[in-house]
Chains A and B, each alone.
With several copies, the nearest count.
Chain A
Amino acid sequence: MTIKVKYFGQIAEVTGIQEEFVKFSGVTLMELVGKLSQKYPDLEKKSFQMAQNKELVSLDSKLTGDEIAFLPPFAGG
């Protein structure tokens, strides 16, 4: 499937882009992170949470095809 992946804050700094579409046939978010870490080696040095369909999810969640986001530590307020 094709997944829309969004990067924010210091994660976008590492990827150099804020958003991309990724063709991917794996099952879990963990696998997607593995694939993207090959493309962006500094990704694994960063701390982040992940959202799928705008809800925080754990890395062993199954990919549903919804929008995925890499979220660095929150800094609101």
Chain B
Amino acid sequence: MKHKNVFKSGAIASEFIGESIAKHQSKTNIGAHNIFLGQVRADVINGRTIAAIEYTAYEDMANAKFHEIREAAFNKFDLTCMHIYHSLGKVKAGEICLFVFVSSPHRKVVFEALEFLVERIKSDVPVFGKEYFEDKTHQWKVNK
């Protein structure tokens, strides 16, 4: 089974996020949007600073998992819209690598739904992150 592709090559542009918000203005039953953005941090580890993360994924499985998570959220919460985008490839410190966007008539629902989605994405989706330091050495990112 072929699922919708959640992945985008490289960083997620702020203009793309703005346009995605604009597209919802015709959906006049929406009262509340909630957006989560993951941004790559320039963490300093033993004196070395992270310059970028290179994301790879088991893409077929990841898209299937994203689909499962979407379905679970639609079943659990009264959502009008839901959009998920994740970067693949290199994303520099300060750039956005994850964009999760939920909309509903009422606000209570979007808070619960967004946190549910982000936690499930972090724990269930086979995405891997190679953290490059400024000196070109690297380590592997592990979600907490």
Neighbouring A residues of B130 by C-beta, 8 Å? 9
Other-chain residue from B53, B64, B143 in contact with A74 (beta carbon distance below 8 A): B143
A73 located at the interface, meaning its Cβ lies under 8 Å from any Cβ of chain B in the complex: yes
Q: Which of A48-65 contact B (CB under 8 A)?
A: 51, 54-55
Majority secondary structure, B binding face: mixed
Please, how many residues of chain A have a CB less than 8 angstroms from a CB on the other chain?
15
Neighbouring B residues of A6 by C-beta, 8 Å? 58
Q: How large, as a class, is the contact surface on chain B? A: 20 to 34
- Chain B min CB distance to A60 (Å): 21
Neighbouring A residues of B123 by C-beta, 8 Å? 74
- Chain A min CB distance to B62 (Å): 8
Neighbouring A residues of B55 by C-beta, 8 Å? 75-76
A16 located at the interface, meaning its Cβ lies under 8 Å from any Cβ of chain B in the complex: no
B86 located at the interface, meaning its Cβ lies under 8 Å from any Cβ of chain A in the complex: yes
Q: CB distance A75 to B58 under 8 Å? A: no
Q: CB distance A76 to B122 under 8 Å? A: yes
Neighbouring B residues of A76 by C-beta, 8 Å? 55, 57, 62, 86, 98, 121-122, 125-127, 129, 143
Q: CB distance A72 to B128 under 8 Å? A: yes
Taken residue by residue from 55 to 89, chain B's Cβ proximity to chain A (1 for < 8 Å, 0 otherwise) reads as: 11110111010000000000000000000001000
Neighbouring A residues of B118 by C-beta, 8 Å? 77
Q: Of all chain A residues, which has the CB nearest B98?
A: A77
Q: A51-B61, A75-B127, A77-B38 are in contact. Are A10 and B56 (CB under 8 A)?
A: no
- Chain A min CB distance to B126 (Å): 5
**Partner-A contacts on B (CB < 8 A):** 38, 53, 55-58, 60-62, 64, 86, 97-98, 107, 118, 121-130, 140-143
9 A–B contacts from the bound complex (CB under 8 Å): A8-B58, A10-B140, A74-B127, A75-B53, A75-B55, A75-B143, A76-B126, A77-B97, A77-B143
